[in-house]
Structures are given as structure tokens and as C-alpha cells.
Amino acid sequence: MFREYSRARIEKDKNFDGKFYFAVKTTGIVCKPSCPSPVAKEHNVEYYESLYEAFENGYRPCLRCRPDIELEYTNGSIQGVSTINAALKKIHDGYLNYHSLSELADELVISSRHLRQLFVKNLGASPVKIARYHKTLFARKLLLSSDQSITDVAFASGFGSVRQFNEVFKEMFHTTPSFMRKNMQPEANKPNRTTLLLNYKKPFAFLQILDFLRIRAIKGVEQVTDDSYSRTFRTQNTQGYFTVQDNLKESSLELSIVCDDIKCFMEIHNRVRRMFDLDTDFTVINKRFSKDVILSKGMENRHVPRLPTAFSPYEFVIRAILGQQITIKAATTLAARISKAADIHTDATFPEGLDYFFPIPTELIEMDLNGLGITKTRQQTIHTTTQAVIDNTINLTMNQTFDTFHKEFSALKGIGNRTVNYVAMRGLGMLDSFPASDLGVIKALMKGDKKPTLAEIIKQGEKWRPYRTYATLCLWNSMKKDDEHAPIYTIHHSTLGNYSRRK
């Protein structure tokens, strides 16, 4: 293994970025394999499968390749440990900024001691230390991309005091926050507002994603202009709104956040990254699919379409239920009616058009949906599903297998296979969902006028594991290319097209 790592380091192979890290003893820094710095001698190098493990051994992030900037939410050293993945997701979203380790362990239904053991074994550091490292890394992002005061950066990153922030920051980076920022001159932001740069790897079709989001935007909750996406949000501890725009020069999305508790920045930052599919490594997927005669038809410049994942999984579940057997436009209208009827208003400081918050499960379960144009059957399905979310009967995270999610979600009355796949793909961001009975998938796999059987489609899909979600996007996209006037079918989700059935 280390021989392979050595080759990748010497050749500066980007395909290994995130799979391992190397540290240079003489400089005290840790780097990504593709670091542009001069190649260090092998006897001066140590290899780590976790960046956190390198931190534990006293190394600090390289300022050239910045391994901390693109740190993924799960680490390549974890082999099927779903508990750690779930814990990491919560930690990276700032859970320990508001809660104790015992509370985190309780949510994962294990003891604090067992959780610590799992982390040390797989990541080389305890959950608390990883949370501290992550807060420091996030603080560095704020220093690089905002004009927030040092105090605001400290609290936005989850530190309890500026003194604690300065001490931990200096320990990791061997410099102070103020010194690191000294030569930076970011554009001025409004009070209580910050702009974060969310880097992406080109190509990135932002305007096409906006087109996709525009026809699905819930009036009063979301707003899409020619060059931006905005929406209201509420987390467990705060509320506010954010706006996303493209910065072509920096190959980044600009995320501007306004809220009443700046500790939410970490969670919103991570959720938006998932929303715009910024963290998927397309290297292997593009290579495989570009050689596939069928899927390559749906690629753009040998790149598969990105998967726009919903900001709020629960909100998307409701959208999916509303969209059963009706058009996207009709489902969007019904979702807007629910938001308006819930009457959870934003305050006067919010921009015009961002007037409501979408109701959370405990609010929606109490609502009377009569008179909104939603059928009794759909109302019952919404009620049943919402109660299941409240009771934790279904899990609305991607930290589970598709088969597990399919079994639990489809067990609810009114939830069919198409809705399960729809939510798995766009609601949870699962990468191996495959709606074999979808009309667009069927049409994409037709040979002349002959339709494939369901068994044939399932067999074909097996070849595309574990990326059948992206295979589906390619199939849908190929239909858009073949027919620019294709009708709209509610389950279709391509960033470059909307192929669906009209009723």
C-alpha cells in the first residue's frame, strides 16, 4: 500500500487526493498527494489515511495544497463503519457546537466510550479532538473568504471564547488568526453577513442547475434569479436565509448567509455543498461512463450531470408526495400553498420574496390541509410519512444503504417505488438509486420501437453499480438531447433537462 502511495506522491496523482495524506518530517506539514511543492525524499515522509491522524502527530496543513480546505465529510480510512460516518456528519455540521459527546452518542444509540474507541481506531483521534480540528479548519475558511471580525469567526466556528480560538489556531497553524488574515483584503460584507467560497472542480454548469431549480422553487421560501439561488432556512438553533452565486474567476460558489446565530455557518456551508454536489469525485465515474455506449450519450464533454440534492430532506419528501401523478409545476404550487397556510413568516429584514419558512414535521402534522387542492389520499400519505419522521421510523439521511431506506420508506402507505427512488436520489443524495420502472429510463434503453422488460433493465443497471444514480441522470439527459420538446415527467432530475410525463 505505501509503495502505491509513494508512487502517487512522486507523480502528484490527483486521483489519490483524499485517499491518503503524506507528512514531511523536516517541515512539519501534511499535504495532499498532488501538492505542487518539490518532492520530498522518501525517508523524510510519513503516510496517513486520515488527515486528523496527521494532526494528532503534530503536523499542520500545507499552505500550498491546502488539504484542509477540501476535507471530505467521510474519510477513506473508514470501511463500512456507518456509526462513524453518521457521527462525522453531525460533527462536521457543528453538532458538538451545541451538544455534548454524551448527547451525540445517545443519538447514535451507543455509549460515549464505544464512540471514542471507534474514532481512535478508524481516524486516529477522539470525536472531541476531531470536532476541535474541524472548528479550526472551518475558521480558516472564514478568515480566507470573509471580512468577519476575529471574534465573529471564533464564535461562528463553534469556539466558546476568542482566547480558546487563538490558542487552538496557533497550535495547528503555528500562527495567529490575525496574522494569517493580515495581508488579505476581502470585499466588505454587510453586518452579520459573511460570504464563503465553496470551491468546485470544473466543469460546473451553475446556470443550468439554476434552470433546474427555478421551476421547482417554492414561492415565498425559495427564489431563483438569472444568476443566484436564495432560500430561507431554520436549523435546530437558528433561522435565516442564504444566497448562492457563481464566481467563475475563483472556480467557487459564493455563499452569503444571514442568520441570528453565526454558529449555523458550518452547517449551512456543508448542506449547500451537498446541495450543489460539490464533493463527489467524478474521476472514476466519468472514466467508466464515457466508455459506455448508452450512458456516454447523456454526458456533457465527457462529464456526467451533477446531482442537485435538496437542502431539506423532509421538505423534499413532502414535495415528492405532492408530485405523485401530477406535473412539477402543480406540485410546486401545492408546496407553496402549504408554506403560506403554515403562516410561519420571516421578519421585515428578509429580502422581498423570502416570506416564509417551510413547516417542520411537528408543525406540519398539526396543519389542516383541506382547501389547498391536495387530495385526501395525498393528505393521508403526508400525515403518515410526517408521523414516521417524528417517530424516527424512517431515516432521512444518506447514512444507510438504499435497500434499508427502500424497505422502511416503501412500507408506509401511499409510498411507491418511484417516490422511494425520487427521494433517495434528490432528497438524500444516494449515489446508487435506480428507478428501473421509470418511463424515461425505459425510453432511453429502447432499441428502436422495442421496449426492454423490467428484468432486462434491472440487469442492465447492475453494470452501473455503485453509481446508478448518475447512470439514471445520464439516461434522462440523453432523452433531453434527443428531444428538446420532451414532455415533463415528475421523477426526472437532470441538471440539463426535465423529461417527464404530462397528465
Query: Collapsing DSSP states into helix, strand and coil, what is residue 476?
Result: helix
Mean pLDDT confidence for 16-23:
87
Which among 24, 76, 16, 83 is positioned nearest to 52, based on CA atoms?
Answer: 76
Any idea of the CA torsion for 266, 270, 275, 280, to the nearest 10 degrees? 160
pTM of the model: 0.78
Confidence of residue 500 (pLDDT cuts 50, 70, 90): very low
Cell of 145: 473568504
Residue range 194-272, CATH number? 3.30.310.20
Instruction: Identify the weakest region by mean pLDDT among 83-87, 97-101, 369-373.
Output: 83-87
CB 498 within 8 A of CB 492: yes
- Residues in contact with 205: Cβ distance below 8 Å, sequence separation at least 6, in sequence order: 300, 305, 306, 495, 496
**Where exactly are the structural domains of the chain?**
2-61, 82-181, 194-272, 313-482
The predicted pLDDT at position 71 comes to 54
DSSP state of 188: P
Give domain 82-181's CATH number out of 3.40.50.1370, 1.10.10.60, 3.40.640.10, 1.10.1740.10: 1.10.10.60
Query: Collapsing DSSP states into helix, strand and coil, what is residue 108?
Result: coil
Determine the Cα–Cα distance for residues 131 and 170; give it in Å rounded to an integer. 16
Mean pLDDT confidence for 166-185:
83
Tally the C-alpha atoms within 13 A of residue 136's C-alpha that lie toward its C-beta.
27
CATH topology of 2-61 equal to that of 194-272? no
Confidence of residue 359 (pLDDT cuts 50, 70, 90): very high
Determine the Cα–Cα distance for residues 317 and 226; give it in Å rounded to an integer. 27
Model confidence at 487: pLDDT above 50 = no
Query: Collapsing DSSP states into helix, strand and coil, what is residue 347?
Result: coil
Mean pLDDT confidence for 112-125:
86
- CA distances 467 to 192, 310, 417, 478, Å, are 40, 19, 18, 17
CB 475 within 8 A of CB 298: yes
Which among 470, 482, 459 is positioned nearest to 295, based on CA atoms?
Answer: 470
29-31/60-61 β-pairing: parallel
Confidence of residue 189 (pLDDT cuts 50, 70, 90): very low
Kindly give the interhelix angle for 127-145 and 162-173, rounded to the nearest 10 degrees: 90
- CA distances 16 to 11, 12, 325, Å, are 10, 9, 44
Which among 482, 417, 470 is positioned nearest to 443, based on CA atoms?
Answer: 482
- CA distances 451 to 264, 361, 438, Å, are 49, 41, 12
Entry field: residues in the chain? 503
Task: Give domain 2-61's CATH architecture.
Answer: 3-Layer(aba) Sandwich (3.40)
Q: What percent of the chain has pLDDT over 70?
A: 90
The predicted pLDDT at position 165 comes to 93
CB 365 within 8 A of CB 387: yes
Confidence of residue 196 (pLDDT cuts 50, 70, 90): confident
Cell of 92: 462536521
Mean pLDDT confidence for 274-294:
92
The model's pLDDT over 371-390, given as tens digits with 9 standing for 90+, comes to 999 999 999 999 999 999 99
CB 243 within 8 A of CB 376: no
- Give the bridge partners for 244, in sequence order: 229, 255
- CA distances 53 to 23, 78, 97, 258, Å, are 11, 13, 22, 34
The predicted pLDDT at position 194 comes to 60
The predicted pLDDT at position 419 comes to 93
Q: What is the mean pLDDT of the chain?
A: 86
Q: Look at domain 313-482 and name its CATH class.
A: mainly alpha
The predicted pLDDT at position 407 comes to 94
Instruction: Identify the weakest region by mean pLDDT among 280-284, 330-334, 398-402.
Output: 398-402
The model's pLDDT over 440-462, given as tens digits with 9 standing for 90+, comes to 899 999 998 899 999 999 999 99
The predicted pLDDT at position 474 comes to 95
Model confidence at 415: pLDDT above 90 = yes
Cell of 165: 480560538
Of residues 240 and 118, more confidence is placed in 240
Of residues 496 and 168, more confidence is placed in 168
Residue identified by cell 419558512 is 357
Kindly give the interhelix angle for 82-92 and 127-145, rounded to the nearest 10 degrees: 40
